[in-house]
Amino acid sequence: KSVRGNPPQGLLTKVSGFPQSWRRGSVQRREVRFATVSTPTSLELPDRVRRTSIRTARGVFAALEAAPASGVCERDAALLVPGYTGSKEDFLAILDLLADDSRHVVAIDMRGQFDTAGADEPGGYAAAALGADILAIMHATGARHLVGHSYGGLIGREAVLAAAGAEFASFTLMSSGPG
């Protein structure tokens, strides 16, 4: 029988590889540290990236926009859509890199994310409604390439299916499940 946290004689005292103090039933205190996670080092915008708003018939959407240094877009524009808990700022590290490739690039906040107003009713968050938002934004920006991260990819899929793919040059899913 154990008294005051001491193990019964012969039970834990025969376990090798553990410190003697542990075998006697004492508690060891350790400091637990967690690795840093997805914390941006800065929210300063790269040189050619600017904040903007995209006005559509479905509402106004906050965006970050990057253009090529030359000012000449030789490739079709791309729209970047963040995941459920994300925002346009998730793409800060790649906006100017994509623009360096002679492409106009736009990253958005979907309805209810960070700087974009929420829907007036719950139905405004249905996948089909958010997909319709993406189509409206693509029309307003002239984007023909769509990149969706996580939930943004699932919403992008709704947009592609609703448009029967006719308006898209490409559709890229980043870490999106089957839905």
Encode pLDDT of 4-57 as tens digits: 555 555 444 444 555 555 555 555 555 655 454 455 556 789 888 999 999 999
Buried/exposed code over 74-108 (b: 16+ C-beta within 10 A; e: otherwise): eeebbbbbbbeebbbbbbbeebbebbeeebbbbbb
Tokens 């559709």 sit at which residue?
171
pTM over 0.95, yes/no:
no
User: pLDDT tens digits, residue range 83-139?
Assistant: 999 999 999 999 999 998 889 999 999 999 999 999 999 999 999 999 999 999 999
The β-bridge relationship of strands 49-56 and 59-66 is antiparallel
